[in-house]
Amino acid sequence: MKKFSTLASSMLLAMGLLTTSCSNDESTDLIIGESADVEVSTMGKWLPTTRSNGIEENMPVLHFRNKTVYETTLKKLRDMTDQQRLEYYRNLGFEGAYSLWDKADKELEQIFDIEDSLMFEKSIAEYKEKYKGMFNFSQEDETDVTPLYKFKNTNLQLTGNIDGFVVISDSLINPSPDLDDEDDGIDSVHYAPGVIPGPIQPTFQAYPKASLQTKNGRYTSTITMGHIFENRAYAVSVITKKKKLIRKKTVKTRHDVRLTISGQYSLPYYSILPEGVRVNIYDRSECFGNKNGMITFDVQDFHSAKCPTPVSGSFQLPYVIPF
C-alpha cells in the first residue's frame, strides 16, 4: 500500500511538472534551448587590461555565443511586443538598456499625471537628477523630458546594457556615439512590404515644411515626409508627444496612414505602424520624378491610437536622385 501511495504521488508530481512546463512554453520559447547561447555576464570579465575609467566591472552584459546567435536573437526580439521583450529579459535575469528605459518611461508617465503644477515641476527636476547618469536629455529643447539613450545604435538599445555594450563570441562590442540614428526610446524601423532592409541602419532626412499633425487633448501626433540618406528610399517619420504645462515627452503608440507616392508612376501604401516604430521606409524602384522633377506625397487619414482624428494633405517635393 505504501509503495502504491509513493508511486501515485510521483505520477501526480510528474503530471504537475508537465502541465507547468506546457503552460509556460509560449512565454519562454526564446529561452528554451538558448541558455547556453545567451547568458548574463559581467563587464569585468571582458574589459581589456587597460580598461577605461568609469566602467563598472560588475555591470551586467549579455554574452552571445557567436554572431549568428546574436542576429537570430535580435530578429526574434524585434518581432516581439514590448511586453514579450520585457518578459524575456525578466526570465533571463537581465536588466539592460531596454528594460531600464521602459522603467524610466513608466515613471515619467506617472509624473505627467500629477495635477499640482508645483509638485509636477519638482518631480520633473528630481526625475532628471535621478536619471542623468543613466540617460541623456534633450539639449535643443529643454521642455522635452523624454529620457534618451546615451548611444544611438538601435540594435544595441534593444540588446545592450545601460552603456550599450554586448559581448559576441569573445569580443566586447562598444557602441559608437557617432552613429546617426534615433535615440529617444523609439526602437524600431519598419519596412513596407517587399522592401529589403539594408546592411546598415538607415538615416532619415526630413523634407522641410512637409509634415502633418493631429491633436487630442495633451497628445500631438506628427508625420513628416523624407528619404533615407544611404539609398535615397522614400520614408516617413511618425511621432507622438504628450504635453503637460510647458513639458512634453515622447509616447509609444500605433500610427496609421494611407500614403501614395507619385512621380512618373504611383505607389500606393497603407501602413499600420505598431508601437515603437519611428520611421517607415518605402520602395522607390518605379517612382521617378515627373517632368518638373517633383514627387508627390499624398497623405490620407493619418492618425494614431492617441490622436484618432485623421488628417490628410498633399506635398510636392523635389525628386531625390539615387546614388
Domain of 233: which CATH number?
2.60.40
Please list the alpha-helical segments (H only) found in 141-252: 154-159
Query: Residue 6's pLDDT is what?
Result: 43
Q: Give the end of a domain, one of 185, 206, 225.
A: 185
Q: Give the end of a domain, one of 168, 185, 202.
A: 185
More confident residue, 182 or 278: 278
23 within domain boundaries: no
Question: Please, which pLDDT band fits residue 274 given cuts at 50, 70 and 90?
Answer: confident
pLDDT tens digits along 193-220:
666 665 566 788 999 999 999 999 999 9
Report yes or no: 100 and 71 within 8 Å, Cβ to Cβ.
no
Query: Residue 318's pLDDT is what?
Result: 87
Please, how many CA atoms are within 13 Å of residue 245, restricted to the half-sphere of its CB? 16
43, three cell numbers:
563587464
What CA–CA distance (Å, rounded) separates 319 from 284?
11
Same domain for 166 and 43: yes
Indicate the pTM of the whole model: 0.78
Same domain for 54 and 173: yes
93 within domain boundaries: yes
275 within domain boundaries: yes
What CA–CA distance (Å, rounded) separates 276 from 255?
10
Same domain for 237 and 142: no
Report yes or no: 298 and 262 within 8 Å, Cβ to Cβ.
yes
Domain that holds residue 44: 34-185
**pLDDT higher than threshold 60 for residue 306:** yes
**pLDDT higher than threshold 60 for residue 149:** yes
Would you call 112 helix, strand, or coil by DSSP?
A: helix
Same domain for 220 and 126: no
- Segment 30-47 mean pLDDT: 77
Q: Structurally, how many domains does the chain consist of?
A: 2
Would you call 214 helix, strand, or coil by DSSP?
A: strand
Same domain for 181 and 39: yes
Q: Work out whether the CA dihedral 81, 86, 91, 94 comes out positive or negative.
A: positive
**pLDDT higher than threshold 60 for residue 190:** yes
Question: Cell 515627373 maps to which residue?
Answer: 290
Same domain for 206 and 147: no
Same domain for 165 and 58: yes
Q: Give the end of a domain, one of 185, 206, 229.
A: 185
Query: Residue 3's pLDDT is what?
Result: 41
